[in-house]
Amino acid sequence: MSARTSLASRQAIVAVVLLFAYNGLVIGVYTSSIAILRDKIGIDAIHLAILFVLTGLVALGTMQVSGRAADKFGARRVCLLMILPLVIAAVGYALVPNYPLLLVTGVFLGMGNGGIDVAMNALGVQVEASRLDQGSRPIMSFFHGTWAIGCFLGSLGVSLVGTAIGLAPSRTLMAVALTAAGLGIVVWIAVAVIAPDTAPVTHTTATGQKAPIPRLAYLMGLMAIAFGLAEGTASDWSGTQVQQVAGVDPRLATWAVTVMMACMVAIRLCGDLLVGVIGRRNLVRFGGIVAAIGYLSVAYVGSFPLLLVGWALVGLGSGVIAPQVYASAGHLGGGRGLSVVVSFGYATSLMGPAIIGTLVHLIGIHHAMALPGVLLLGLIPLAGIAIQNQKSGRVTAENTADSQQV
């Protein structure tokens, strides 16, 4: 136990960074290894679709349990518990010999990813709240930036081991995934030692009755639909869109994803400074406008340089939205509030590829990109209602009063 560690201490920040980065690392290894798994086990697109849906449904279910467990038992304990299925999943992907065991591994990945997603955000919100009480600036955007860095490093590890070192695909996956599993044990030990102990969070009304989930959390869930579709579309479709619209080589088209992700990481690492300058509400509005301009531009321009500029704007704008919405949900509704918002965003990421794919079929990949842009514009009025306006990021008086009833 690390009850003596303050929530506002550097050790607490390091603990949360380790959680975010490790979760991103495992997801990066997994997503970049899908093609290797497909060839290794000999499965087709239908088998992969079943794996993706199963993993996603398990994650959604675990998110509901994780948020409430974080409130009841403390976010630190839930984070430590949820590292373990991520480690098991990493070992599974390294050694899995057949499709049934691949599905079992997918269950562990969904359990760990869904559970730690909510719990580490809940812990991050508590760390941020403690820092804000002492006059420090917000830090949630930085935490989300380290997740993106971890995801990038996981994907980069698979690429480097497979190409630079020259290992066979199955051995590449084994080496990187087992390394990720070993790092998970190191992270578990480190977090167990340095993470602050977190007290249970109670939700009661002034009369002592159990309070419902704040209705503002559901408005933030609607916002999560917009930024979830925006981020998912950018990751899944940007390269293909640039290739088909600009008519460039597929290798050149991958720069769309690279530019978008680089801008997203950069803005998240400096997003907390922007919160201190213009406040959370205005930063979400700014992000929605910039990302919408990016999407609407790539839906109508055709040259390769302009398309890259558009996807860069998408990364810059969408990158600042999720950390601020998650932080607002956590400050307002604790783990329960985070469960709602994270679930809305995650469900959108599951359905998003099918929605965009249908639009691509109906109106073409060029103009299909307008849909995320239109949804992002909806964040502007929603931010005025749901996101706290204080630069400190704490709950405003009107939002606190509003949260007492559904």
- Amino acid 398: pLDDT: 38
Q: Among 1-5, 160-164, 366-370, whose mean pLDDT is lowest?
A: 1-5
**pLDDT band for position 272 (50/70/90)?**
very high
Q: What is the pLDDT at residue 395?
A: 42
Residue 9 has pLDDT above 80, yes or no: yes
- CB within 8 Å of 361: residues ≥ 6 apart: none
> Could you state, in order of their start, the residue ranges of all structural domains in the chain?
10-194, 215-400
Do residues 112 and 249 touch, judged by C-beta distance below 8 A? no
- What is the rounded CA–CA span in Å between residue 358 and residue 185? 42
Direct distance between the N- and C-terminal alpha carbons of the chain, in angstroms, rounded to an integer? 37
CATH of range 215-400; options 1.10.10.10, 3.40.50.720, 1.20.1250.20, 2.60.40.10 = 1.20.1250.20
Range of weakest confidence among 67-71, 74-78, 235-239, 370-374: 235-239
pLDDT value of residue 396:
40
pLDDT digits 0-9 by tens, 184-198: 999 999 999 999 888
pLDDT-derived band at 374, boundaries 50, 70, 90: very high
Distance from C-alpha of 88 to C-alpha of 90, rounded to nearest angstrom: 5
CA distance 153 to 296: 30
**Would the pLDDT of 23 be above 80?**
yes
User: Can you say whether residue 74 is alpha, beta or left, with left for phi > 0 and alpha for psi between -120 and 50 degrees?
Assistant: left
Question: What percentage of the chain carries pLDDT values higher than 90?
Answer: 55
- Lowest-pLDDT range of 60-69, 207-216, 270-279, 395-404: 395-404
Q: Per CATH, the architecture of 10-194 is what?
A: Up-down Bundle (1.20)
pLDDT at 403 over 70: no
Q: 10-194 with 215-400: one CATH topology?
A: yes
**DSSP state letters, 237-259:** HHHHHHHHHH---HHHHTHHHHH
Model confidence over 288-335: pLDDT tens digits?
999 999 999 999 999 999 999 999 999 999 999 999 999 999 888 888
Mean pLDDT for the chain?
A: 87
97-150 residue pLDDT tens: 999 999 999 999 999 999 999 999 999 999 999 998 888 888 999 999 999 899
3-state secondary structure of 388: coil
Phi and psi, residue 204, nearest 5°: -130, 155
Does position 56 have pLDDT exceeding 50, yes or no?
yes
Of the chain, the percentage scoring pLDDT greater than 70 comes to 92
8 Å CB contact between 238 and 287:
no
Closest C-alpha among 368, 336, 339, 337 to residue 352: 368
CA distance 14 to 112: 20
For residue 406, the model assigns a pLDDT of: 32
Residue-wise pLDDT tens digits, 279-301: 999 999 999 999 999 999 999 99
pLDDT, position 375: 94
pLDDT at 117: 94
Q: Please state the rounded mean pLDDT for residues 12-36.
A: 92
Instruction: Tell me which of 24-28, 271-275, 346-350 is least confident.
Output: 346-350
pLDDT greater than 80 at residue 37: yes
Rg of the chain over all Cα atoms, to the nearest angstrom: 21
DSSP code of 396? P
Q: Give the closest residue to 149 by CA, choosing from 287, 17, 1.
A: 17
pLDDT at 4 over 70: no
Res 44 pLDDT > 60: yes
